Structure formats: structure tokens, C-alpha cells
């Protein structure tokens, strides 16, 4: 059972800036100036890039004014240290559109966690290039949009334009590809840069592209895994959010690897989506800082 502290509303502050002396003191001094209560804090300094990252959670009840005034008070500090920053109220959840194809293990897990409140987000709906998972989606009370994706270039372009329209119409902030077996067009990748999440069924950078379990079988690996990452134009090469592995051996054929890998995929995707929704992921270049 969650403690009273765990369920009290909080503001989430995240920031990135050039590393230098005085950042932590300036940020915490501001909070202390109005007797604000920081209930969770994490920071990281990256020596290779000279960047500093911070995430704080501040009890809403300890702030004697609204979030807009808090932003105004923080702005001079952000300017002083050349920060890229965000202050968010989780009481307004992320708006998420889920994409899937025929396989149901990842989408079913996300829908269940959304319905039970384990993952807190506003579900805009589900987009799929097949109609197979309509009944599953509608069982959870979510809108289902069947958008077939033809093989020809003109048909693909029209299909992705329709998917983009659905996301815009629903005001989706984040797209989650829950085993959506299509390569996303560059324009959509750019539009949702840092806001489109994919699950790939291998331990990247090994075995990119199609049929990674078959590639793993041919290579004779003893570990297979899954990778949750942000989508970029380069296939399966975006910044990694979460990964995990499971052991296999010489007796496991590709079908058994697929079966064993499904559990890893759904758990890794859930962990990656949760970290994104809770503003625990900070991207820089093609890497991420993920605060636990």
C-alpha cells in the first residue's frame, strides 16, 4: 500500500545545462526561499559532454502559489545557467496514442496497466494496420483506428498521413509503438522527436531490423533481450531508455526464443514508457540519462 507521502501531489522539475559550480545551490535555495519541500532529487554530471542533469519532485502543498508563478521565479536561474528545463504538473497526464499490428502481448499489457491506473496517462486511442486487435482494444473501452498500410509508396504515404491526422486530432503528445511492425516516415519521426517510443525485440545494437530472434538463433547467442528506445529516422538506432535480457541455449529454436522473449518485451516497454511518463528520461545526443 502506498504511503501518504507517495500519493501527495508533486511538481516535477527537470533540467539540463553546462556543468558548473552553484547549480544545485541555486535551485534548492529557490525552493527553500518559500519553504518548499523537495521529496525526491537526482542529479548527474556527464564528464564527456560537460553537461549536468537534474530532476526534482516538489510537494505541491508546500508551494504557496501556482505553477505559473513558480516557473516565473525559476526562469532567472535557468537563464543564468543556460538551462534547458521543464516544470510539469503530473495532475495533467501525458496524452498517448498506441500503435500496434497483430501481436497482442505488448498492447494488452499497456491497456491493462492504463485501465487499472498502474500507468497514468490519457489514452487517445489505438492505431493499427490490421483489424485483429479491435475486440481487445474495445474491451478496455479505447477507440480503435484501423489504418491499413499498403506496400506501395503512395499507399504508405496516405496511410501515415491518416495516422498523423488521427494523432493531431486527438492532441497526442506521445506515440508508443507496441510492436507496430512498420518503419515510421522521417516527417513523423521529426514531429515526435523524443516523444515516439518503440520496443525492439533484441538487445540493441545487436540484430536490428526484421526477425531478430531468427538472427540470434543463427548466431547461436546465449542471451536474447528487448530494447525500449526513442524512434529516429535511423532504423532501431534511437536513444535507448530501457533494456533487459533472458538466457537461451542450444535447444531453443526461433519459435521458442520468440515465446521466451515476449515477457521481456512487455516488461521492458512498460518500464520505458513509465520512465517517460514520469519525466525520468533526459535525452542528449543519442544517449539518455534515466533517473530511477
Please spell the DSSP secondary structure of 102-169, one letter per residue. S--HHHHHHHHHHHHTSS--EEEEEEESSSTTHHHHHHTT--EEE----SSHHHHHHHHHHHHHHHHH
pLDDT value for 7: 73
Tens of pLDDT along 185-209? 999 999 999 999 999 999 999 999 8
Tens of pLDDT along 17-71? 999 999 999 999 999 999 999 999 999 999 999 999 999 999 999 999 999 999 9
Q: Does residue 5 register a pLDDT over 70?
A: no
pLDDT value for 90: 95
Characterise 236 by phi-psi region: left (phi > 0), alpha (psi -120 to 50), beta (else): left
| pLDDT tier at 210, thresholds 50, 70, 90 | confident
Considering the candidates 46, 48, 236, 244, report the single residue annotated as catalytic.
236
- Site of grid cell 537461451: 248
Q: Does residue 274 register a pLDDT over 80?
A: yes
Contacts of 76 (CB under 8 A, 6+ apart): none
pLDDT value for 6: 56
236 is catalytic: yes
pLDDT value for 199: 97
Contact 54, 27 (CB under 8 A): yes
Q: Please tell me the distance from the alpha carbon of residue 252 to that of residue 110, in angstroms, as a whole number.
A: 28
Centre a 10 Å sphere on the Cβ of residue 40 and count the other Cβ atoms it contains.
13
Q: Does residue 3 register a pLDDT over 60?
A: no
Amino acid at each position: 500500500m502506498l504511503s501518504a507521502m507517495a500519493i501527495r501531489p508533486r511538481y516535477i522539475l527537470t533540467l539540463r545545462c553546462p556543468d558548473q559550480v552553484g547549480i544545485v545551490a541555486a535551485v534548492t535555495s529557490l525552493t527553500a526561499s518559500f519553504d518548499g519541500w523537495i521529496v525526491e532529487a537526482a542529479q548527474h554530471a556527464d564528464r564527456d559532454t560537460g553537461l549536468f542533469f537534474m530532476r526534482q519532485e516538489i510537494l505541491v502543498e508546500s508551494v504557496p502559489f501556482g505553477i505559473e508563478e513558480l516557473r516565473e521565479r525559476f526562469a532567472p536561474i535557468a537563464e543564468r545557467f543556460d538551462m534547458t528545463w521543464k516544470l510539469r504538473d503530473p495532475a495533467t497526464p501525458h496524452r498517448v496514442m498506441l500503435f500496434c499490428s497483430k501481436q497482442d502481448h505488448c498492447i494488452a499489457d499497456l491497456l491493462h496497466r492504463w485501465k487499472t491506473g498502474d500507468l497514468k496517462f490519457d489514452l487517445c486511442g489505438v492505431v493499427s494496420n490490421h483489424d485483429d486487435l479491435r475486440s481487445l482494444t474495445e474491451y478496455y473501452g479505447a477507440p480503435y483506428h484501423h489504418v491499413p498500410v499498403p506496400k506501395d509508396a503512395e499507399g504508405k504515404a496516405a496511410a501515415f498521413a491518416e495516422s498523423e491526422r488521427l494523432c493531431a486530432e486527438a492532441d497526442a503528445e506521445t506515440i508508443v509503438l507496441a510492436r507496430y511492425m512498420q518503419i515510421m516516415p522521417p516527417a513523423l519521426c521529426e514531429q515526435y522527436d523524443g516523444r515516439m517510443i518503440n520496443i525492439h525485440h533484441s538487445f540493441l545494437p545487436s540484430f536490428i531490423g526484421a526477425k531478430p530472434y531468427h538472427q540470434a538463433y543463427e548466431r547461436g547467442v546465449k542471451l536474447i533481450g528487448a530494447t525500449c528506445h526513442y524512434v529516429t529516422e535511423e532504423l532501431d538506432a534511437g536513444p535507448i531508455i530501457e533494456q533487459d535480457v533472458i538466457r537461451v541455449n542450444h535447444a531453443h529454436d526461433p519459435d521458442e526464443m520468440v515465446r521466451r522473449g515476449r515477457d521481456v518485451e512487455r516488461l521492458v516497454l512498460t518500464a520505458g514508457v513509465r520512465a517517460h511518463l514520469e519525466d525520468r528520461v533526459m535525452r542528449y545526443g543519442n544517449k539518455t540519462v534515466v533517473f530511477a
